[in-house]
Amino acid sequence: MSKLKVGVIGTGHMGQYHVNVIVNIAQAEVTGCFDADPNRLAEISKRFDIPGFRDMDELIEKSDALIIAVPTVYHYEIAKKCLDRGKHVLVEKPMTETVEQARELVELAEKKNLVLQVGHVERFNGAVMELKKVVERPFLIEARRLSPFNPRIADVGVVLDLMIHDLDIVTNLIGDEIRSVSAAGTSAFTRHEDVAAAVLQFESGCVANISASRATQNKIRTLTITQEKAYIILDFATQDIDIHRMASQAYLMTREELKYRQESFVEKIFVHKDNPLRQEHLHFLACITGEQEPIVPGYKDVRTLEIAHSILKQIHG
């Protein structure tokens, strides 16, 4: 089977990671890269020994598939151009600025029988992929994605930058309709919200508390799940899953005091750990060749963006 020709549009902070990964995937032939900044383009082209295109249209024309890692404001315009020309697209999250734009891209991809994948890289975290095997009718989910401020992200707030990862994971994990959403947030360093908290209640009764911050002097990325016979802790950074189960509990009363004893054990789940971005690329290519089906269909990507905008509306009014 001939290799798929893949081009990368945008070689900034995230774009360079995409280039670094795709050049090492055997199933792909890297057509080249494009960036609006000629100096940045020359630097990445030289570092990875790939062609640098000064004309984005030429790169699109010579590629079977494009990875789009430009500022969010350009996602819709560039992704639509690629789809219109019959090219498969992997676009960084958030898919687009608006829900209407996202819905149009999904419909266009379906009409043309093209793969449109959104870069929710945490979907391919080994621990997240194992999580569905152990979660059963949860009561409470708590997601925390906190990090120090990084000025590289200025076009969107923390909801579309960080929280959207957990919205994607939680909604696809529960697989149920959302009954209500409430949210609050505040700015700290930018004109957007830099801290946000949301509470989602699902029709099943499950409650999800999701917190995101880019104003915290420590990096924390965890997901915890409470269900009938287990408390599950997932660490995104280490790709570890621990399951706490209560073995027994007892009360002992003496004249002096009431003592409480609780015994529990911790089960560690084996997780195949790999570079999530590499797994994302491999899945994208496998969907193009028909070897795999998208793990999340396009309409669910649109739904995640809808929830994110609902949260933003409550924060900003």
Q: Which residues does 30 contact at the CB level (< 8 Å), separation at least 6?
A: 5, 6, 7, 8, 19, 22, 23, 48, 50
* CATH of the domain spanning 123-276+306-316: 3.30.360.10
**Cβ–Cβ under 8 Å, residues 116 and 298:** yes
Instruction: Please report the pLDDT score of residue 249 as a whole number.
Output: 59
CA-based nearest residue to 294, from 79, 38, 120: 120
**CATH code of the domain made up of 4-119:** 3.40.50.720
123, 295 Cβ separation under 8 angstroms: yes
- Rounded Cα distance between 279 and 277, Å, is 5
pLDDT tens digit at each of 317 positions of the chain: 689 999 999 999 999 999 999 999 999 999 999 999 999 999 999 999 999 999 999 999 999 999 999 999 999 999 999 999 999 999 999 999 999 999 999 999 999 999 999 999 999 999 999 998 999 999 999 999 999 998 877 788 999 999 999 999 999 999 999 999 999 999 999 999 999 999 999 999 999 999 999 999 999 999 999 999 899 999 999 999 999 987 655 555 555 666 655 567 788 988 989 999 999 999 999 999 999 999 999 999 999 999 999 999 999 98
Within this chain, domains 4-119 and 123-276+306-316 share the same CATH topology: no
Listed by start position, the domains of the chain span 4-119, 123-276+306-316
Query: In this predicted structure, what is the pLDDT of residue 60?
Result: 98
pLDDT of residue 270: 86
